[in-house]
Structure 1
Amino acid sequence: MWKIAIIDDERQVLQGMKRAIPWDELDAEWVGEALNGQDGLELIRTAAPDIVITDIYMPVMNGLDMIEQLRKEGFCGKIIILSGYSDFEHARQALRCNVSDYLSKPISVPTLKTILGKAIGELMEEEEKRIKQDELQQKLMLYEPFIEKEWVKSAVAGTLDSSYRNEDRLPKPYRFWCESKHVVIGIDLIRNVRTSDLSLPDWSLFRFAISNVVCEVAREAFPAIEYVELHGTRAVLILHPQADSSQQELELKLSKLGIRLIDCVKSYLKLVIRVGIGGTKEAWTEMPDSTEEAFRAIDLRDRRVDSAYDVFVYSEEMGNDQGTLVMRPAKFYFEIAGAMKASQESQAQQLVAHYTQQLKEQKGITPDYVQMLAGELWGIFAYCLYEVGMVLDDIFPNDQIVKEMVGLTLPGQLAEWLTAKISVIFSSRQWKGNSKHRQAVDFMTQYIHEHYADDMTLADLSDKVYISRNHLSIIFKNMTGETFNTYLTRVRIEKARELLLERNMLVYEVAERVGYKNVPYFSTLFKKFTGMNPTELIK
């Protein structure tokens, strides 16, 4: 109900107003009255009415002084002046105090009803705006961690807008970047028999598991790190060594870390990765250069730190060869993958046109390089479709693509080929209408990976993505191949398996850490998903 207070030094007016206002019709209630401005001020402070009806000429404190004091104190309610005098100067002063109406006594009941109805209508609109703003603020707070992650991804890939490349625009968690050096380690997952036939849910879990292993190992040597997945099989690890570290000591430390990452990923996950170490940068705005250098080191495979490991270090000599400057650029790959996943066909086409134009202007571009680039980009396209539950081979037979790639020898041919393929992909029935649903599912899977230990239901997440629970259940199953509960359980069990292998906690402690208070139930689920009991794993 809307609360109304009346301030007037004439008791007859007070009683008449109370009888004349159609309280039920306006869904309003009377919350108090006062005979002067000073008492009215105290009343309004205590009762916090939505609407105040007040006279001007009153003892102790007049109505205008009362209104001015209220506005100074932040009172935002509607104020209606009902005075027996019409005075231009008073009206002007009332206007400065943001008064809703200035009326002369006497006033008819229909007029009073109209004025109050107008004030209540304005209050309803303001309330609706406040609710929307609160909802938006809550949504922004909910998305803030994910927004920051996208910011880091853009910063390391080189796609951050120039207006954000200064210290003032750094998000709070990353302000320390201004006081340290920066090195990017590129991580490339090698597709083999184990990974080629993975389902979408398994592939997502493998990526999640790799990030966990990499981060835990890296933090042993570098307390401050960020892990960012780029596209397809590639990710980066951002390290921030202390400014007083010597370059020789740092290179040795980075080489040992690269070897340990390969060993741990192979030991825990039975997966094979290559590692590239980019150059050390003094400023965080130079991190994209370190990213390009890290993957260039992997691609050229020139400076191997150990003959038994695929760990490669970038050297200045690699950058002096002009023919390598455009090889597999991380920024272009990142941008084209982002455009594909966001269903931005025109953006994808523009990126291809811009990059292939650079290729045309570059000397030393060979047919082998053009075909290599076509294969890399085709792999990115396949991965982007794979993430939304689509198979590129269903649109283009693989044999056909292989034959077409052999005929690509010039950058212009590559541009025409990619442009045609992108048009077909975006016009396909499977792709259309997927964008919003894909974004919802992406948010859900990311949220699960971040909050797997918390109590959560599909209904909780349906409120966050503004899709009904039943509809969201169907969308999630179609895009991941699993129900929400099964996916959540698999993430929890995967994390539990990693914690158990560390042998630092008892089974019941691990169960609680991943969200299960019932240990027997946890053990049953663990055996269902892994084929063994938790106790068997740590023997």
Structure 2
Amino acid sequence: MAAKALNVLIVDDEMPLRQELRLFPWEECGAVLIGEAGNGEEALQQIESQAPDVVVTDITMPIMDGITLIRELRRRHPAVQIILLTCHSDFRYVQEALRLGALEYLLKVSMDEVEMKQALEKVRAAIAKDRHSRDSEKSERRLQQAALFGKLLHGREPDEAEWRQLGLDGTGRRVLARIVLHAPNPAYVAAKQRLQHALNDIEGTVGSGISWLSVTEKEYFVLLPADEAGDAQAETMRGILQALTACLEEGLREAEHAAAAHAIVSGPFAGGKELALALARTNEWKEALFYDGADAGGVFAGSPLPLADMTDKHAKEMQEMLRKSGRSPESLKDCLQNGFFEWCAERRFRPQQLKQRMLGWRVDWLKAQDAAGLGGAGIERLLEAGTLREMTAALQGEIEAIESGSRRPRFEIRAATEWIQENMKQPISLPILAEHVGLSPQYVSRLFREETGYSVGEYITRLRMERAVELLRGTNKKVYEIAEEVGIPSYRYFTVTFRNWTGVSPTDFKRQH
């Protein structure tokens, strides 16, 4: 790919020299002449609107000389590179200019095409070095800010030095936008890359007032200046989202997979404590959107409708509703789509609590169907559902898959899954499993994923977590006893794995059930 042409501005009070430089073969040097000025003051006015990469300037000029111009450029536009045009008698000024940050100097009396080309190549190298340095600094700052947001999301208080990383000193007001990416797995990687590129473009185009970071894979946090009043900030975010959505649609059109994003925008804040409150408010919206939906390109601000805790009484009512409708797959699917959906939407339970109750119901239902561990939707789709409709659709899909037998794998894989279930308490590895079914480890690995949609390791972990949910709900065994029974003797590893799968610790899950 051809390098971007350098934008050049000439500054000299001598008209003959400017005329000579107009005729210089800039294109052959990978550059373009975008303007000229007769003194430093005129040059500064043009730089504000033209944004040159390099300024080729004389030293001795009326009104504002080259030395003063260089000082102003270093203060106002430090990224602009500077090439000096000078006479022999100006050498002491050349030393001062180089000390202030000029990159190269050329003698007017002997300047030729080769020297200018060499100077421009030096400019190009300096710009690339500066860009790399700025990108590295930006990446490091983004990682530090992401760590700070991670602390906030887990309810921990950052220290004073960490607050300063966000530039929240109480003087300037900001607004937080939480962008959530919606993309199916086949298109997710491409969507994520395009979203990040679009955010980088917006960050670079709009200026230093906007910065973004990511803590989790499908969420991005954008800090915007809060100079605007009322709903204007939400309108700004809508414009950004439109650009992001257009970028996603353009990049994924050939893949035939829809991708979109929505944003939750906080009120203005100045200090770190206010940021923590703003982030908590976006959490409230994120939970509320489980019921209120998250339209593509939608921007949500203000206060959402409240949510309610799911009590044991509610859980019993839910279980009875699903039990009565479970006489046939059709009646159960109809209940999930209509009666159950309306019941949940009216009561607006906290999504995590509802999902945990549904997780327990799912384990019981699969066991009753003699399909434990073989459900099509699995724990992942239930727990990752962004809306109530997505959750019920995942469960409906699971019912349909088991009903049609579409998940019934080949004989070798059925034998493998049965053996895994019978030997769950023991250490299980791919070579041991392959030996049992009489196939090579490589072939078992490929066939297992093709037939079940999971790797052998993923399937074993999923089966163990489903069994752990069943034991935590239906027995009085200690957590460490359940960990051993499902084949994970390390209490700490079991606790971490269970939390990753269900969103809560085994102890909290057992207490709730």
Shorter-chain TM-score tier: 0.3 to 0.5
TM-score, scaled relative to structure 2: 0.34
| Structure with the larger RCO, 1 or 2 (CA within 8 Å, 6+ apart) | 1
